[in-house]
Amino acid sequence: MTSADRFERMIRWFPPRWREHYGAGMVALLEDTYADGEVPLRAHFSMMRTGLVERVREFGLIGSAATANERLRAGSLTILCGWTLFMIAGADFVKFSERWNGATPRAHLMLPDLGYAIVRDAGIAGVVVVLLGALLAVPSFLRLVRGGNWPLVRGPVVRTVVAGTSVMVFTAGISIWAHLLNSGDRNGGLWAYEGAVLLWCLAVIVTLGIATGAALRVSRQLDLAARTLRLLCGLAITLSVAMSAILIGTALWWASEAAYAPRFMREGIGNGIVITSSTFPLSLVIAGLLMLLGLGVAAAGVARLTPSLRRREATL
Amino acid sequence: MSKATRLNQPGLGRNNEPPLLILTSLAAGAKHGYALTKDIEAFAGVSLGPGALYGAIARLEERGLIEPAPSEDRRQPYCITASGRTALAQAVRDMRALSDVGASRLGLRLSTRRAGRSVATFMVTQ
- The pLDDT tens digits for B49-73 are 899 999 999 999 989 999 999 887 8
- Choose the most confident range, by mean pLDDT, from A70-79, A92-101, A259-268, B3-12: A70-79
Q: Range with the lowest mean pLDDT among A22-36, A232-246, B13-27, B38-52?
A: B13-27
Contacts of A33 in chain B (CB under 8 A): 34, 37, 50
Q: Are B26 and B66 in contact (CB under 8 A)?
A: yes
Mean predicted confidence (pLDDT) in A112-124: 96
A61 belongs to a structural domain: no
Asked whether the beta carbons of residue B74 and residue A28 sit closer than 8 angstroms, the reply is yes
Q: Is residue A123 domain-shared with residue A34, that is, in the same domain?
A: no
A133 belongs to a structural domain: yes
Asked whether the beta carbons of residue B55 and residue A54 sit closer than 8 angstroms, the reply is yes
Contacts of B57 in chain A (CB under 8 A): 22
Contacts of B52 in chain A (CB under 8 A): 46, 50
Asked whether the beta carbons of residue A43 and residue B50 sit closer than 8 angstroms, the reply is yes
Q: Which long-range contacts (CB under 8 A, 24 or more apart) does A68-72 make?
A: A68/A308, A68/A311, A68/A312, A69/A224, A69/A226, A69/A229, A71/A304, A71/A305, A71/A307, A71/A308, A72/A229, A72/A230, A72/A232, A72/A233, A72/A305, A72/A308, A72/A309, A72/A312
Of B50, B62, B73, the CB nearest to A26: B50
B107 belongs to a structural domain: no
Position B10 scores a pLDDT of 47
* Domain range for A20: 3-50
Q: Given pLDDT bands bounded at 50, 70 and 90, which one contains residue A272?
A: low
Position A313 scores a pLDDT of 59
Contacts of B75 in chain A (CB under 8 A): 25, 28-29, 32
The pLDDT tens digits of the residues spanning B85-111 come to 999 999 999 988 998 899 999 988 776
CB environment A179-218: b (16+ within 10 A), e (fewer):
eeeeeebbeeeeeebeebbeebeebbeebbebbbebbbeb
B52 belongs to a structural domain: yes
Q: Is residue A194 domain-shared with residue A137, that is, in the same domain?
A: yes
Does residue A120 carry a pLDDT above 60?
yes
Q: Is residue A40 domain-shared with residue A157, that is, in the same domain?
A: no
Asked whether the beta carbons of residue B34 and residue A28 sit closer than 8 angstroms, the reply is yes
Position B16 scores a pLDDT of 59
A63 belongs to a structural domain: no
Q: Is residue A25 domain-shared with residue A168, that is, in the same domain?
A: no
Q: Is residue A161 domain-shared with residue A86, that is, in the same domain?
A: yes
Burial class (CB in 10 A: 0-12, 13-18, 19+), A276: middle
A55 belongs to a structural domain: no
A78 belongs to a structural domain: yes
Q: Is residue A218 domain-shared with residue A311, that is, in the same domain?
A: yes
Q: Specify the 3-state DSSP secondary structure of A31.
A: helix
Contacts of A53 in chain B (CB under 8 A): 55
Position A247 scores a pLDDT of 97
Of A27, A30, A53, the CB nearest to B55: A53
Mean predicted confidence (pLDDT) in A110-134: 96
Chain B contact for A310, CB < 8 A? no
Mean predicted confidence (pLDDT) in A29-51: 88
The pLDDT tens digits of the residues spanning A190-223 come to 888 888 988 998 999 999 999 999 988 898 888 8
How many domains does chain A divide into?
Answer: 2
Q: Is residue A33 domain-shared with residue A88, that is, in the same domain?
A: no
B80 belongs to a structural domain: yes
Q: Which of residues 132-151 of A touch B (CB under 8 A)?
A: none
Q: Range with the lowest mean pLDDT among A65-79, A234-248, A250-264, A266-280?
A: A266-280
When scoring A13, A32, A55 by the number of chain B Cβ atoms within 10 A, the one with the most, hence best to mutate, is A32
B68 belongs to a structural domain: yes
The pLDDT tens digits of the residues spanning A73-93 come to 999 999 999 999 999 999 889
B73 belongs to a structural domain: yes
B32 belongs to a structural domain: yes
Q: Are A32 and B33 in contact (CB under 8 A)?
A: yes
Q: Is residue A25 domain-shared with residue A123, that is, in the same domain?
A: no
Q: Range with the lowest mean pLDDT among A46-50, A155-159, B10-14?
A: B10-14
A34 belongs to a structural domain: yes
B101 belongs to a structural domain: no
Q: Given pLDDT bands bounded at 50, 70 and 90, which one contains residue B13?
A: low
Does residue B9 carry a pLDDT above 80?
no
ipTM score of complex: 0.73
Q: Is residue A170 domain-shared with residue A211, that is, in the same domain?
A: yes
Position B120 scores a pLDDT of 43
**How far is A72 from chain B, CA to nearest CA, in Å?**
21
Asked whether the beta carbons of residue A45 and residue B49 sit closer than 8 angstroms, the reply is yes
A247 belongs to a structural domain: yes
How many domains does chain B divide into?
Answer: 1
Contacts of B32 in chain A (CB under 8 A): 25, 28-29
Asked whether the beta carbons of residue A25 and residue B74 sit closer than 8 angstroms, the reply is yes
The CATH number of the domain holding residue B86 is 1.10.10.10
**How far is A167 from chain B, CA to nearest CA, in Å?**
40
CA atoms in the 13 A half-sphere facing the CB of A88: 27
Q: Range with the lowest mean pLDDT among A142-151, A177-186, A222-231?
A: A177-186
Does residue B38 carry a pLDDT above 90?
yes
Chain B contact for A301, CB < 8 A? no
CA angle A182, A184, A185 (to 5 degrees): 70
Position A217 scores a pLDDT of 86
**How far is A33 from chain B, CA to nearest CA, in Å?**
7
Q: Residue B2 CB: number of other CB atoms within 10 A?
A: 7
* Domain range for B41: 3-94
How far is the C-alpha of A223 from the C-alpha of A225, rounded, in Å? 7
How far is the C-alpha of A232 from the C-alpha of A309, rounded, in Å? 11
Does residue A124 carry a pLDDT above 90?
yes
Chain B contact for A200, CB < 8 A? no
